[in-house]
Amino acid sequence: MSFDDTAEKVRRNVVILSSAIIIAWFLNLHVDQASKLFGVIEFESTPPIKLWGLAIIIMIYVFLRYWFDEKTRSQKNHLYSELSIIKLNVLSAYLKFEISQSFKKNKAPPSIHNFEELKKPDLLIRYENQESLSEVNIDLSIERNPESLWSGWVLPDYQLEWDKKHFSTKTGGNRYQFILSNNRRKFLELVSYMNLFLYSKSSVDFLMPILLCAISVGICIGQLVSVYLKSFN
């Protein structure tokens, strides 16, 4: 098996070697069977502890070549940029949800400080008359805090439809500070990463070799420990 220096082939080396180790372990192949399956040298007389140790060294080597490759660094930078955009979209959707719920329930949004919109006279009258709010349309812009994505200022514009016939509109938007709690931050972080992993082809191309390598190295370490412990029995 040859190890090529080109970016795509460095990535392919990681995938092929990792997959070979995972398949051999999953099928419970002995060393001589695995060597015949993958068409390499017979290792029948080599102690398993040396083979698993050698496999770990080779996997670490090919992974480091992949990790420090110029194209891999470019992919990482692209993913960071993509993740930043996804986080902003997730944050925007969440703040819209909070504001929408605040109008529907006549309660201040938990993450937005001093939300004065609910105190406007025309809205207070409608709430006192228990008019039904049938639709909420919100458009907002976000000014991010340079020190944290999950805090900053939001400028909401909205249109409220009451009983499907009365409208209360607001344009120009007042500026309100928002600060998300730790639990909400963690939740939105999780949603952002899930969006990145599930809907981004570049994240799959970048992360699959890392995942396969981590699994294969874990298998090798497990087998190495198992062989070492058996030597004492």
Measured CA to CA, the distance from residue 120 to residue 122 in angstroms comes to: 6
pTM higher than 0.75: no
Query: What is the rounded average pLDDT of the residues 110-128?
Result: 82
Contact present, 112 and 99 (Cβ < 8 Å)? yes
Number of H helices, E strands in the chain: 7, 4
Could you tell me the pLDDT band of residue 6, with boundaries at 50, 70 and 90?
A: low
Contact present, 220 and 34 (Cβ < 8 Å)? no
DSSP three-state, residue 231:
coil
Domain boundaries, the chain: 7-75+201-230, 95-197
DSSP letter for each residue of 63-75: HHHHHTSHHHHHH
Could you tell me the pLDDT band of residue 121, with boundaries at 50, 70 and 90?
A: confident
DSSP letter for each residue of 28-81: T--HHHHHHHTT----TTS-HHHHHHHHHHHHHHHHHHHHTSHHHHHHHHHHHH
